[in-house]
Amino acid sequence: MTSAEPPPVERFRPADLERDWGRLRSTCPVSKTTTPDGTDVWLVTRYHDIRSVLGRQVFRVTPLDSDVSTETGEGNESIFQDPPEHTRLRGLVAGPFAVGRVGKYRAAIRAKADELIGAMLSSGEAIDIMADFSKPLTMNVISDVVGVPGPDRAMFQRLSDQLLVPVSEAQGVVALEGWRQLNEYVRSLIAHRRRTAGGRGGDLLAHMIRVQKEDASLTDVELTTMVLGLPVAGYVSTANAIAVAVRHLVEDKWLDELRVCPDRPALLKSFVEEVLRFQSGDNGESMPRFAAEDVRVCDELIRKGDMVVAPLVAANRDDELFDQPGSFDPRRPGLGRHLAFGFGIHRCLGANLARLELQCAVAALVDSGLGFEMLESWDSVPWEVNMLGDRFPVRLLVSAWQTEYGTRNRERTT
Amino acid sequence: MNAQPEQLTKTWSYPFARESIIDPAPALAQLRESAPIHKVRLATGGDAWLVTRYEDVRALLGSPAFGTQYPGSVPTVDAENLAGGFMFLKDPPEHTRLRRSVSRVFTVRRVAALRERAEVVAAGLVTTMVEKGPVVDVQEEFAYPLPIAIISELLGIPESDRARFRRWADIVLRAVGGGEGFGEAFADLQKFVVALVESKPDGPDLLSELAGQSGEPGGLSRLEIASMAMGLLMAGYVTTASAISHGLLRLFRNPAVPAGIRAGELRITDVVEELLRLQDEEVGINRIALADVDVCGVRVRRGETVIASRVGANRDPRAFRDAESFTVDSPSGQHLAFGHGIHHCLGAALARMELEVAFGTLLTRIPGLRLAVAFSEVEWSADGMDVNIDRLPVAW
C-alpha cells in the first residue's frame, strides 16, 4: 500500500471570489449555498463566526460518512485529519516549525534571495518574479528544510513544478505522474538517509527518522506523506504570497516607502502581514468543515453532517475588524488579527516559516536598491488552478534596473 | 623626444554616442579615469580638447586665459542680430560691464516674488493636466509652459503678447514645426523684443528696471537690453524645461526619492541639487585659449578650443563620494551644473526656484504621478549636443 494518490483536494471555491461579503455579512452571515459541483453548503462570512468554526472541535475536516480507517491503512495519511490522529501526527512534526526553530533558516533564505536578485540585472530582459524569484526561493527553502541534497534539487523542483501545471485534462496526467515520481523520490530519499545517516542532521528528514525510531506508530507512508506535504503546502502558497508582495511593492510603490521609512523593520513586518491578509482568497483558502453534531452558528442551526465553509478571505475582509478592508494598508490598526494562516488546530504548520520567507524576500528587495516596473498590470496577470486546487499567477513580468538612490541615503533611514 | 601618451595621439569622437536619456555615455567615465585631458574630434567638424575631472573643469572655467570668442574677434550687436550681444558670448571687459548691470536687477527679492507667481502657474498647469488625464505629455503640459510663463513674467511681456511670444520661442528654440518658418519667426521675435524694450519702463519687471537705468552711468543701451532679453530666453527656456522633464524621468527611475519627499524625509532643495548634479541633457561648455597655455600638462595653442565637461566633473569620484548615486548629503551647490567663474549662470537661483516649484507641485498635488509607458518606451533623440525627450507621457 502506497500513498500514490494526491491528498484530498476537494475544496470549496466560491464561484465568484469577488462576491459581496459585506452584504452577506450584514444580511445573512450564515447563508446556504452550493459548491460548483452542486453540494449544499453553509457559507459563514463574519470574522468571529469563521474563527469559531475553525476553532471548534465540533467541526471536523473529514465528512461523517467517510469510512476512513487508519488501521486498515486506507485513505488519508496526511496531517489533514481529525483528532486524535491529527493530534498525534501534528505533535510529531510540529517541532521543527516552531517559531524559535525556523529562525535558523533566516540567513540562508536571505542569501538565496540576494543571489536571485543579483542575477536579475544580468539577463537584461524581462524578469518573471514567479519563475526567477519566488518559486526558486521557496523551493530552495523547502529543500533546505526537508534536507534535499544539492544534486537532487533541480529534479525536486521539476517534480514539484509538475504539481503546479494547470489542471486541464492532459496536464492533469502530467501532474499525477509528477506526484507519483515525487512520492517515489521522497521514499527513496528517506531510505537512503536512514541507511547513511540514521537520524543525524538538523533537517526535517532527520527529525522524522528520529521520531519514527522513538514512536513506532508512525508508518512509512505517513512519514513520506508528511514530508511531501511540505512542498505541496509551502511551495506555491508562499511563492504566490511573494508575488503578491512584489505587486504591492512595485505597483503601489511600497518598495520606495520602505526605503525611506525611518522605522523600516516595523513597517516591513506590517507590510508582510498586510500582504498575508490581502492575499487570502488568492491562495491558501481554508478546507471545508463538517458538523459532528447539531450546532448553532450565529443563531443558524447547522445539522449534524452538514458541510460548512468558513473562507479566510471573508474573515480578512470583515470591516468590523479591518477598516476599509478592500484597500491595502500596512499601517492599519489591528493587523495582527488576520486569519491568513487559518485558525485552530489546523492553523498552517508552516506559518512561521512562510512569514520568515516573506520578510526575507521583501527585505532583500528593499535593500537591493533595484527599481522595478510592472510589464503588465496585476489585473492582467493570468491565474491558473493546479490539481491541488491552488490558484497561482502564471507569471509576474517586471523589468528591473539599478537605481541611483545612494546606499548612504538608505543607511541614513535604516 | 618622449613618446606621446595615447590620449594625446588618439582622437575621440565627441559628443559620445549615447545609450540612455538620463545617463552619460560610458566613454566619459573611461576617459576621465584614463587621463585628465583628451583630444576630441567634434561632430560639427574640427578638433578640440576635452577635460572631464572636477578640479580641471573648475580651473578651466575660472581661468582668465580662456574666453568665449576667438582671440581678437568681438561680436557686435544690432537690431537684426541680437545674438551678437549675448552676455554669455562676451569676454571681459565688455562682459564685466553687462554682467554688473544685470546682476543689480536680478535680485534675490525678484526671484522670491517670481516664486509666488511660479507656484500659481504650476498649480494651474497641474489642474489642467488632471482634467486632461488619464495620460498627458507632462513635457507639453507642464515642463515647457512653466519656464516660458516665468520668463514672460521676468521680461514683463503683456498678457496679450504671451501666446505669440511662446509660439516664436517654440519655433526658434524647439524647432516646433520641424524648422518650418524658422527665419521668419526669428525675425519676428527679434522685432518683438526690440519693440518690447522700447515700451519700457512700464512695470516692476526686469526689463523695465534695466530700461529705467539706461541713461545712467553703467546703464545698458536699449539694444543691449533687447539682446539681454533675448539671451535670457535662450538661456532660460529650453534649459529649464529640459531640467524639469529629465529630472522627472530621473525621479521616476529612483522612486524612493519622491517617496522620501512625500514622507518628509528628503528636502526638495537637496533633491533639486542632486538632480542638477546628475543631469546629463547637455554636453560641455566651450572655452577658447586666448594665448598659448598649459592645461593638465598639455600645451594648448592660442585659439584652440577646450571643452569643459560639466557632466564629467559632476560625476567625478574625486569630488563626490558615491558620485554615480543619488545622494542627498552631497555638498550642496558645489556641482558645476550652472558652470563656474564669470559666466556662472545668471539665472541659477531662478532655475533652482522653478525646479523646486515644479517638482514640489507635481509630486504633492499628484501623489500617484508615474510614467505612463515603460521607461524603455520613452521616445528621445540625440542631435549633436542636445538630448531631447520627444514626449513624456505620465499618468497617476
pLDDT in tens, B248-289: 999 999 999 999 998 888 899 999 999 999 998 656 799 999
Coil vs helix vs strand at A213? helix
Contact A38, A58 (CB under 8 A): no
Distance of residue B324 Cα from the nearest chain A Cα, in angstroms: 7
Cell 471555491 -> residue? A13
pLDDT digits (tens, 9 = 90+) for B353-377: 999 999 999 999 998 999 999 898 9
Residues of A in contact with B263 (CB under 8 A): 257, 260-261
CB of A200 within 8 Å of any CB in chain B? no
> A408 to chain B: which residues are within 8 Å by CB?
321-322, 325, 327, 329
**To the nearest whole angstrom, how far is the Cα of B212 from the nearest Cα of chain A?**
48
- Judging contacts by C-beta atoms under 8 Å, the chain B residues touching residue A259 are 256, 259-260
Q: In angstroms, rounded to a whole number, what is the distance separating the alpha carbons of residues B142 and B145?
A: 5
Chain A partners within 8 Å of B254 (Cβ): 371, 403-405
State how far the Cα of A108 lies from the Cα of A113, in Å rounded to an integer.
9
Give the helix/strand (H/E) hosting A248: helix A220-251
| Chain B 70-99, residues with CB within 8 Å of chain A CB atoms | none
Q: Summarize pLDDT for B63-89 with one digit per residue, the tens.
A: 999 999 999 888 888 888 898 889 988
Taking the CA of residue A366 and the nearest CA in chain B, the distance in Å comes to: 10
Burial B227-263 (b: 16+ CB within 10 A, else e): bbbbbbbbbbbbbbbbbbbbbbbbbbbbbbbbbbbbb
Mean predicted confidence (pLDDT) in B127-152: 96
Name the CATH topology of B5-395. Cytochrome p450 (1.10.630)
- Residue among A255, A401, A412 minimizing CB distance to B253: A401
B258 to A256: CB separation less than 8 angstroms, yes or no: yes
Residue B5 preceded by cis peptide, ω within 30? no
Question: At A46, phi and psi to the nearest 5?
Answer: -95, 140
Q: Say whether residue A404 is in contact with chain B using an 8 A CB cutoff.
A: yes
A405/B250 touch (CB, cutoff 8 Å), yes or no: no
- Residue of B19, B254, B314, B320 to mutate when probing chain A, most A C-beta within 10 A: B254
Distance to chain A for B235, nearest Cα, Å: 28
Asked if the C-beta of B253 comes within 8 angstroms of chain A's C-beta atoms, the answer is yes
- Per the CB < 8 A criterion, the answer to whether A285 and A303 are in contact is no
Asked if the C-beta of B240 comes within 8 angstroms of chain A's C-beta atoms, the answer is no
Q: Which residue has the cell 538661456?
A: B235
CB contact under 8 A, B325 and A405: yes
C-alpha cell read off for B372 = 505612463
Chain A residues with beta carbon closer than 8 angstroms to that of B258 = 256
Q: Is B259 on the interface with A (CB under 8 A)?
A: yes
C-beta atoms of A255 and B265 within 8 A = no
Cβ within 8 Å, pair B327-A408:
yes
| Cα–Cα dist B260/B268, whole Å | 10
Tell me which chain B residue has its CA closest to the CA of residue A405.
Answer: B326
Q: Which three cell numbers stand for residue B320?
A: 563626490
B26 in contact with A at a CB cutoff of 8 Å? no
Q: Angle at Cα B78 formed by Cα B77 and Cα B79, nearest 5°?
A: 135
- Least CA distance to B256: which residue of chain A? A256
Closest by CA position to B28, among listed B279, B311, B246: B311
Report d(CA A311, CA A28) in Å as an integer: 15
Residue ranges of domains in chain B: 5-395
Q: Given CB atoms, is A256 within the 8 Å cutoff of chain B? A: yes
Q: Which of residues 205-224 of A touch B (CB under 8 A)?
A: none
Query: Which residues of chain B make contact with A255, given a CB cutoff of 8 A?
Result: 255-256
On whether any CB of chain B is under 8 Å from the CB of A408, the answer is yes
Task: Report the percent of chain B where pLDDT is more than 90.
Answer: 71
Contacts of B325 in chain A (CB under 8 A): 404-409
Asked if B326 lies within 8 A of A257 by C-beta distance, the reply is no
Which residues touch B385 (CB under 8 Å, ≥6 apart)?
A: B15, B282, B283
User: For cell 509551502, what's the residue?
Assistant: A234
Q: With beta carbons less than 8 A apart as the criterion, state whether A223 and A183 touch.
A: no
- The closest CB to that of B374, out of A259, A375, A403, belongs to A375
Cα–Cα distance, B281 to B139 (Å, whole number): 15
Pick from B250, B257, B321 the residue to mutate for testing the A interface (most A CBs within 10 Å). B257
Nearest Cα residue in chain B from A260: B260
CB contacts of A401 in chain B (<8 Å) are: 253, 375
Cell of B331: 555638498
For an interface test with B, which of A405, A408, A411 has the most B Cβ atoms less than 10 Å from its Cβ? A405
- Grid coordinates belonging to A364: 532583500
A175 is written with which cell numbers? 501532474
What's the gap in Å between the CA of B373 and the closest CA on chain A?
Answer: 9
Which residues in chain B are closer than 8 Å to A407, comparing Cβ atoms? 322, 325
Determine which of B327, B376, B394 to mutate to test the interface with A (most A C-beta atoms within 10 Å): B327
Separation in Å, CA of B364 to nearest CA in chain A = 15
**pLDDT at position B108 over 60:** yes
Q: Does A401 touch chain B (CB under 8 A)?
A: yes
**Chain segment B308-335, per-residue pLDDT in tens:** 999 999 999 999 988 999 987 666 558 9
**Phi, psi at residue A245, to the nearest 5°?**
-60, -45
Asked if B326's CB is within 8 angstroms of A409's CB, the reply is: yes
Contact flag B256-A373 (C-beta cutoff 8 Å):
no
Q: How many Å apart are CA A344 and CA A55, to the nearest integer?
A: 4
Question: Would you mind telling me the total number of residues written for chain B in this entry?
Answer: 396
- By percentage, how much of chain B surpasses pLDDT 70? 95
Residue numbers in B near A250 (CB within 8 A): none
**Residue A67 in contact with partner chain B when CB distance is under 8 A:** no
| ipTM confidence score | 0.73
pLDDT tens for chain A, 414 residues: list them.
334 443 333 455 544 455 678 888 888 889 888 777 778 889 999 999 999 999 999 999 988 876 544 444 445 667 778 888 888 888 888 888 888 889 999 999 999 999 999 999 887 789 999 999 999 999 999 999 999 999 999 999 888 888 777 777 667 777 788 888 888 999 999 999 999 988 888 898 999 899 888 888 888 888 888 888 776 778 888 999 999 999 999 999 999 999 988 899 999 999 999 999 998 766 677 888 999 999 999 889 999 999 998 989 899 999 999 999 989 999 999 999 999 999 999 998 899 999 999 999 999 999 999 999 999 989 899 888 777 667 788 899 999 998 988 665 655 433
Q: How many CB atoms neighbour CB B127 within 10 A?
A: 11
Is residue B140 pLDDT above 80, yes or no? yes
Q: What is the pLDDT of residue B332?
A: 57
Cα–Cα distances in angstroms (integers) from residue A380 to residues A135, A394, B229, in the given order: 20, 11, 53
State how far residue B55 is from chain A, nearest Cα, in angstroms: 23
pLDDT score at A172 = 73
Q: What is the 3-state secondary structure (H, E, C) of chain B?
A: CCCCCHHHHCEEEECCCCCCCCCCCHHHHHHHHHCCEEEEEECCCCEEEEECCHHHHHHHHHCCCEECCCCCCCCCCECCEHHHHCHHHCCCCHHHHHHHHHHHHCCHHHHHHHHHHHHHHHHHHHHHHHHHCCCEEHHHHHHCHHHHHHHHHHHCCCHHHHHHHHHHHHHHHHCCCCCCCHHHHHHHHHHHHHHHHHCCCCCCCHHHHHHHCCCCCCCCCHHHHHHHHHHHHHHHCHHHHHHHHHHHHHHHHCCHHHHHHHCCCCCHHHHHHHHHHHCCCCCCEEEEECCCEEECCEEECCCCEEEECHHHHHCCCCCCCCCCCECCCCCCCCCCCCCCHHHCCCCHHHHHHHHHHHHHHHHHHCCCCEECCCHHHCCEEEECCEEEECCCEEEC
Asked if B257 reaches chain A (Cβ–Cβ under 8 Å), the answer is yes
Query: Strands A307-309, A40-44: parallel, antiparallel or unpaired by DSSP?
Result: parallel
Residue B172: pLDDT above 70? yes
